[in-house]
Amino acid sequence: MRYRLLVAAWTWWIGLPLVAVGQFQQGDSKGARLGEAQTQKWQAGVVVTADSGPCTGIVAYVPMPIDWPEQQITIIEEDFSPTAKVSYETIDESVKLMIVRMPMLPAGYESHALVTFEVKRSALLPPEDTGIYVLPNPRKMDRRVRNYLGPSPYIESRSPKIRSLAKELEQEKDTEAEKAWERVEAIYDRVREKVEYKNGLLKGALAALNDGTGDCEEMTSLFIAVCRASDIPARTVWVPGHCYPEFYLEDEEGKGHWFPCQAAGSRDFGGILEYRPVLQKGDNFRPPYDRSERQRYLAEHLTGTGGKPTVKFVRKTL
């Protein structure tokens, strides 16, 4: 018997306690600056039990957070059963997958792969001088950044209605005289004007623009979609129980910088007082277990060829 288990694990971490507080840090003065840091200790992995007979061909995929300018990851302990063969794969330089293979698990046996981390996460403060930024030239852009100009699942940046909104915002001001920072901020404010926060099922950027409601995912997706339709790279940042967007501008020397904003909730533009761990950045992944379907977030996933195991994905603070 073949089976698959897919878990949208990023929603599991709402309200995690913080266990330590760091000091203010000064980052790149031309980009978002690092603010106060807070540290968490947590564990992630998978536990599989063959309690209904022997199981074969089990392969589990567990996303792991990685280092970012505002986040540092330190591995404290790895706890792997002898029956668990563990390897790692990085997807789009943004997500690290722990791949756990259990070729044969006898009846009544348990196998696990658990990793304990320390995560140090800093708040991000807006840059001191927002007038130094320019819009990037898509033709000269690094391929890895240019990837954040196209559509993604539920981010319909090529929709005529979204492109029309982007064009409308461009024509409202003299774009040659307007600063790049103000250009993005106008997109941010218009999205927050057009979409009223309302929790609900995932429906995407275009649906939120059509009916005027959405939660953090829709507001983030619409902001990103309008940015991309305006040739401004933008991407989703996933934290426990929430997501928010980042946009990309270049300084006068041609160096690129990513800046966060809070699409839903408090008005935070260019910086964000967020201490929850960054789980992933991006919104258009091709997972190794299904190359045919792109996903906006890589969740825990398990496949197998025989038996009916009990599976528990672990993601918790310690």
pLDDT digits (tens, 9 = 90+) for 143-157: 999 999 999 999 999
- Both 256 and 286 in one domain: the answer is no
Residue 33: inside a domain: yes
**What confidence tens digit (pLDDT) does each residue in 210-225 have?**
999 999 999 999 999 9
Q: Tell me if 292 is assigned to some domain.
A: yes
Does 277 fall in a domain?
Answer: no
- Tell me: pLDDT of 22 over 60: no
Whether 142 and 259 map to the same domain: the answer is yes
Q: Are 159 and 260 in a shared domain? A: yes
Handedness of CA 61, 218, 11, 246 (dihedral sign): positive
Q: Does residue 297 belong to any structural domain of this protein?
A: yes
Parent domain of 27: 3-124+282-317
User: CB of 229 within 8 A of CB of 157?
Assistant: yes
| CATH code of the domain in which 186 resides | 3.10.620.30
182 and 300 co-located in one domain: no
| pLDDT surpassing 60 at residue 23 | no
Q: Are residues 219 and 304 in the same domain?
A: no
pLDDT for 176 beyond 80: no
pLDDT at 6: 58
Asked whether residue 194 is domain-assigned, the answer is yes
Instruction: Tell me, yes or no, whether 300 lies in a domain.
Output: yes
Pair (232, 289) in one structural domain: no
In-domain check, residue 276: no
Q: Specify whether 8 is located in the same domain as 100.
A: yes
Do 146 and 255 belong together in one domain? yes
Q: Which of 123, 148, 68 is nearest to 268 (CA)?
A: 123
pLDDT, tens digit (0-9, with 9 covering 90-100), for 72-92:
999 999 999 999 999 999 998
The Cα–Cα gap between 73 and 42 comes to 11
- The count of domains in the chain is 2
Same domain, residue pair 287 and 173: no
266 and 134 in a single domain? The answer is yes
- For residue 275, is it within any domain? no
At 189-213, the pLDDT tens digits run 999 999 999 999 999 999 999 999 9
Give the span between the Cα atoms of 194 and 173, in whole angstroms: 19
CA 199 to chain centre: 19
In this structure, are 138 and 239 located in the same domain?
yes
Whether residues 140 and 120 share a domain: the answer is no
> What is the C-alpha to C-alpha distance for residues 147 and 282, in angstroms, rounded to an integer?
10
Q: How many residues does the chain have?
A: 318
Sign of CA pseudo-dihedral 135, 138, 139, 140: positive
CB 212 within 8 A of CB 191: no
